[in-house]
Structure 1
């Protein structure tokens, strides 16, 4: 909505007028409020004081009557004087309290024997004050009216004759106070000693505490207001704000208060505010219509220039068109500047079109070369990846060989250790076999000894048999023993022969086994020697395999670096190719954009359009900022 210049000017004008009227209304309101408060205060105080003066006159008249009756009480008939006082002063009754306690009444009332006038409050107050007093209002027991007693002491030449007083109803004062109503919601009240209500529109509040009207009506408030005749304060009565003015009643301890309703007192100010707001709305409406009509006629030329710019911007980029130059005002200057700008744009676009064609051709060449280089780089990267994979396989194989060589070396060392232990065992076996051979030889010697013993025993047994035969009958038992001994000797000889044969056989086999064990020991020593040699060879193979693995790892790292660099080169080539493709697309798009503009064949500047006959000339001002066309075909300022 506020995009329109006319709308912004109209809005700003209305804002300025509204602020001016509001400020003026505010100042006027404050001024009127001050004068209104002063006038209301004056009227309130004047109303309070005028009514208080009337009450004072009523009280003063009766005081003067009571005081004037003192002379007649001394020199004349007291009863007749009291009747005259009651009739002339409007007293319901007039009384004379005597120093002995007796009472003379205007209505002929004779008190009881125990009645003592000296005990009455009006009598005691007048004597105590030695002057005229007005008693507190009280309600008459017979009539129910509010009554006050005005009393004054009677003295002459130092002699005290008593106290004369009159009781007067104050209904007239109550009616007068109730008639004080400056506005419908305002009221007045009469109080005594700033504590007790004497008169109020609500008769039920008579002789009630003053705070029944409002909690703010305390003696301090009334004393403060009565001490300053022109002062007023705002109090709250039944939830409504009231302006209170208080005037003391001379000759009494009474106060007349007038409570003016705040809302009704300021009704005039609210009416002024309402009329000011209505006036403001009317002025704004009239101003808006007037400003709108004036701006429509004033900015019509600018709108025509805007429409022409929209037509050029929304068309097919026809740079051969020119705006109408009418007059010398700002619109004409904008049109002239636009025509010059379009002419420059036409020359620039012609040059840009030629350059864009050259850039497009170069971009095609770069893109084609980049794609070819990208393919070759991709092939090189693939070959390097295959080489890297083969080297990794070789590295894995060499590492496995090295691991196998290490395991074989460990196994060879273990076999060498076992073979050494076997050789040691064979040596022990050879030694054991030699010991067995020696033991067999000893056993042979023992067997030979046994054969010899058996032979000798057999020989002895034979001799014993011969001797027994010789002995005959006596030697028969000895012959039997000799026979048994010879049998045992023969059997021992046979066993010794068998043992000899077994020993000889075992000795031959032991000798053969000893030779075999010796040969096996020599063979085992040769095996240990060859295994040690194999172990040395495996150690050399392991060292060579480790060196080959390290070398292949270095080659693998170099190939990986070369592969990484090739991949990076391939990525760069791809990025370059992508950039070349984008450059190709951008150059093509630039060529299409430039080709969308319609320009003259040789950049000729068309003559400006002649102004129409109805165009009016405006005074010349500073040139308008030039315009440029954005990528979206919109014209922007720069």
Structure 2
């Protein structure tokens, strides 16, 4: 938006003009509004006070008539005085109430027998206040008209002689109040003590509470506004903004209120504002037209410069174009500056063309060299990768051999431990066999002892048999026992002989086993010594294999590091080649961009002479 300089100048100027006019209109409006408010307040106050004074004069005139009739009414012919009072004051009826309760009227009305004038409101109010009073409006029972009663006390010789009263029809007064219209929608009302309506344009509201006109019309509000001079208060009546001024009626409890319509009161002010706004729009429109024509003519030179720059920026980029330098204003200065700028741009383009061609040639050579270096680096990296793979295989084989040596060494150590355990077991067997042999010798001795015992037992049994035979029949039972003992001794001797033979055989075999165990122990000792020698040899092989594995690992690490560095070099070469390619592309783009400008023949000849030559 607002991309055109002319449009921006036009808009800014119109905004400034509009702002100035708005400020002027606002100041004028506020000034007129202040005066208008003062005039409206004065007018409202004048209407309220003027009509209030008229009503006050009307009531005052009748009150004066009532007071002037005191002496005539108290004379010899009171009825005639009452009739004259009624006719001169326009009273519907004039009368006098006496302290005894009787009443005399100007129209000859005969009061009922139970009538007591002292109980009437007009009588009591006049006596209590001691001055002329005006009663609240009421509807006359005979005529059906709105009337008010004037009453004044009469004293004679310092004592109350009666109260003179008169009823006055206030239809004319109501009509006068209803006729008060400062504006078509404005109106006035007459009320008593700020509570009850006496007069209103709507006759149906008579004798109604004042709040039926508006909820804000309370006795306190009316009393407060009545005490203020030349002022008004805002009010809402039937949802319309109003202004209310209240003027109390001196000598009465009445007050006159004038309600002024806000819209109608400020209609002139709105008309001034509307006319000012219309004038503002017309001035802005005329200013826009005249300023647009003047800017179009003034900025024609800038438009030519713009068109020339657009020709340079688009199409063939003709740098041979020049603008006419006519006049001394800013447009002519811009044209001169444009011509100087285009001349410098042409020189810069020639220099850029030469430099871009040089950069393109150098970038081509760098790219070619980088590609060759990249291929050679990739070949070296491939050879290093193969070497690294071979070293890894050798390392794996050596590690496998070292692992096998470690396992064989572990097995040899286990066999040596087992052989030692076997030697110890054989030694224990030898000891056991020796113990068995000793036990066999002891058993042989015991068997020999048993054999001797069996022999002695046999001899004893034989002696017993001999003695039994000698005894004859008495020793027969003993002979039988001795025979049984001899048989047992014989069996014991046979068993001892068999046991001795078995023991002798066992001892011989034990001797043979002990000899064989001793030979086995010697053999196990030789085996243990051989296994220990094998374990030592395998340990030496394992240590040597570990040292070979560590050396090959170091060689492998060095090859891997060399391979990593070669890979990094290859990556750097690739990046250099890519950068050279990008540089070549940028040089080509720069050449194409410069070729988009049309240069003069002299500049092109200079450019060709300065072109670098390829070897």
TM-score past 0.5 threshold: yes
Inter-CA distance 433–178: structure 2 relative to 1 (3 Å threshold): same
Q: 1:109 to 1:488 in 2, by over 3 A?
A: closer
CA offset at residue 377 of structure 1? 2.4
Say if 2:70 is the partner of 1:100: no
Cα distance in 2 for residues equivalent to 1:339 and 1:275: 53
Once the two structures are TM-superposed, the CA of residue 399 in structure 1 deviates from its matched residue by 4.1
1:163 partnered with 2:173: no
Query: Aligned with 2:603: secondary structure?
Result: coil
Matching residue of 1:426 = 426
SS of equivalent to 1:75: coil
For residue 602 of structure 2, give the secondary structure of its aligned residue in structure 1: coil
Render the CA deviation track for 1:29-84: whole Å, top value 9, x for unaligned. 11111111111112211111221122122212211221221121123411111112
CA shift in 2, pair 1:519/1:53, >3 Å: same
User: Compared with structure 1, are the counterparts of its residues 450 and 203 closer, same or farther at alpha carbon in structure 2 (3 Å cutoff)?
Assistant: closer
Q: Corresponding residue for 1:248? A: 248
Is 1:580 aligned to 2:580, yes or no?
Answer: yes
State whether residues 232 and 243 of structure 2, in contact with CA within 8 Å, keep that contact through their aligned partners in structure 1: yes
Corresponding residue for residue 299 of structure 2: 299
Change (3 A) 1:156 1:514: closer
Q: Given that residues 299 and 331 in structure 2 are in contact (C-alpha distance below 8 angstroms), is that contact kept between their aligned partners in structure 1?
A: no
- CA contact under 8 A between 1:229 and 1:246: conserved in structure 2? no
Q: Give 1:551 shift.
A: 4.0
Deviates more, 1:432-441 or 1:256-265: 432-441
Q: Secondary structure at the match of 2:579?
A: helix
Distance verdict in 2 for CA 1:456–1:250, change over 3 Å: closer
CA RMSD of aligned residues (A): 3.8
Cα distance change on mapping 1:487 and 1:233 into 2, 3 Å: closer
Question: C-alpha separation between the residues in 2 aligned to 1:282 and 1:353?
Answer: 59
Tell me: CA distance 1:497–1:161, structure 2 relative to 1, closer, same or farther (3 Å). closer
CA shift in 2, pair 1:304/1:444, >3 Å: same
Aligned residue number for residue 339 of structure 1:
339
Aligned equivalents of 2:260, 2:501: Cα separation in 1: 168
8 A Cα contact 1:178 1:188, kept in partner: yes
User: For structure 1, which segment, 226-235 or 557-566, has the greater mean C-alpha deviation from structure 2 after superposition?
Assistant: 557-566
Cα distance in 2 for partners of 1:487, 1:63 equals 192
For 2:216, the equivalent position in structure 1 comes to 216
Conservation of the 8 A alpha-carbon contact between 1:245 and 1:257: yes
Deviation at 1:13, TM superposition (A): 1.4
Q: Give the C-alpha shift of residue 446 in structure 1.
A: 8.7
Q: Where do 1:191-230 residues align within 5 Å?
A: 191-230=191-230
- Within 5 A, what are the aligned runs for 1:554-573? 554-573=554-573
The structural deviation recorded for 1:256 is: 0.5
Structure 2: gaps spanning 5 or more residues: 459-482, 606-615
Could you tell me how far apart the structure 1 residues matched to 2:276 and 2:81 are? 68
2:527 aligns with 527
Aligned 1:175-194 pairs, distance under 5 A: 175-194=175-194
Q: Distance in 2 between matches of 1:485 and 1:237?
A: 164
Cα 1:534–1:157, aligned 2, differ >3 Å: closer, same or farther?
Answer: same
Match of 1:327 in 2: 327
- Is this contact kept in 1: 2:308–2:321, CA < 8 A? no
Change (3 A) 1:140 1:438: same
Deviations 1:73-107 (A, max 9, x none): 12341111111211222111111112322111111
| Alpha-carbon distance in 2 for matches of 1:92, 1:119 | 21
- Match of 2:3, SS state, is coil
Larger RCO (alpha carbons 8 Å, 6+ apart): 1
Matched, 1:410 2:437: no
Greater mean deviation of Cα atoms: 387-396 or 207-216:
387-396
How far the C-alpha of 1:184 sits from its partner, in A, is 2.4
Deviation (angstroms), 1:529: 1.4
The 2-side partners of 1:52 and 1:247 are apart by: 6
Partner of 1:633: none
Structure 1 stretches lacking a partner, 5+ long: 459-482, 606-638
Distance 1:448 1:222, change over 3 A: closer
Number of the residue aligned with 1:233: 233
> Cα distance, 1:169 vs. partner?
1.4
Determine the C-alpha separation between the residues in 2 that align with 1:300 and 1:597: 26
What corresponds to 1:268 in structure 2? 268
- Give the match's secondary structure for 2:143: coil
Q: Deviations over 1:263-303 (max 9, x none)?
A: 11111222222222222222222222222222112222221
Contact 1:352-1:594 at 8 Å conserved across structures: yes
When residues 549 and 202 of structure 1 are mapped into structure 2, their CA distance, relative to the original with a 3 A threshold, is: farther
Q: How many residue pairs end up in the alignment?
A: 594
